[in-house]
Amino acid sequence: MIRTLLALDGALVRGALAFVLTMQRDIEVVAEVERAEDVAPALRAQRPDVAVTDVTFLGTGVLSGRNASVEPPPVLVLVDPRRPRVLGDALRAPGRRLGFLGNDVAPERLVDAVRRLATGGAVVDAELVVAALSRANPLTRREVEVLEIAAEGWPVLEIASKLSLSPGTVRNHLSRIVGKTGARTRIEAIRIAREEGWI
């Protein structure tokens, strides 16, 4: 039986993954956690064979093997395919058994990935890794200018004035920026662009 820990934010997604995995005869979900501070206690108490997480939890250091009081198991990292660059540090982490899949893969691929990691195999979504290492800035020069000014806290009218654009044009730029970055809001688009080094 493959003992599996789920460390994911969001009860709906975590519950759906738990259901998919527990339907398998050879996989048992032994713990589900939604907060980073609960990962280490769950690892100590349950000693899972595999952990399934997202980049947010991997970045806490516990599942990546940094600052961990217990040796973490192999970790399957689920990544938003619209934001593969967040994998950069994880891909360069030496000595850890990490697998990477897009968070939009079919359930069968997730199940197969858990099994492969548990038996010492490798799990790599090649397209995701290539995109993580080489993704170019999708924003145009003008979109970068608009976002840089927006990042300073200026409203649409001020951005328009500073760039000699109409407010409608600025709104259109901001809407395209949100779409290109895979964000939900302008604030999130600014954060993503800063993380990616685009602004």
Q: Mark whether 98 and 126 lie in a shared domain.
A: yes
The span from the CA of 35 to the CA of 65, in Å, is: 17
Per-residue pLDDT tens over the stretch 129-179: 766 666 668 889 999 999 999 999 999 999 999 999 999 999 999 999 999
Which residue range forms the structural domain that includes residue 169?
A: 141-196
pTM: 0.65
Question: Based on the structure, what is the number of domains in the chain?
Answer: 2
Per-residue pLDDT tens over the stretch 16-40: 999 999 999 999 999 999 988 888 8
Q: Mark whether 108 and 184 lie in a shared domain.
A: no
User: Whole-angstrom distance between the N-terminal and C-terminal Cα of the chain?
Assistant: 47
Q: Is 106 helix (H, G, I), strand (E, B) or coil?
A: coil
Q: Mark whether 148 and 129 lie in a shared domain.
A: no
Q: Mark whether 73 and 165 lie in a shared domain.
A: no
| Domain boundary pick from 94, 114, 134 | 134
Structure tokens at 35: 């907060």
Q: Mark whether 11 and 102 lie in a shared domain.
A: yes
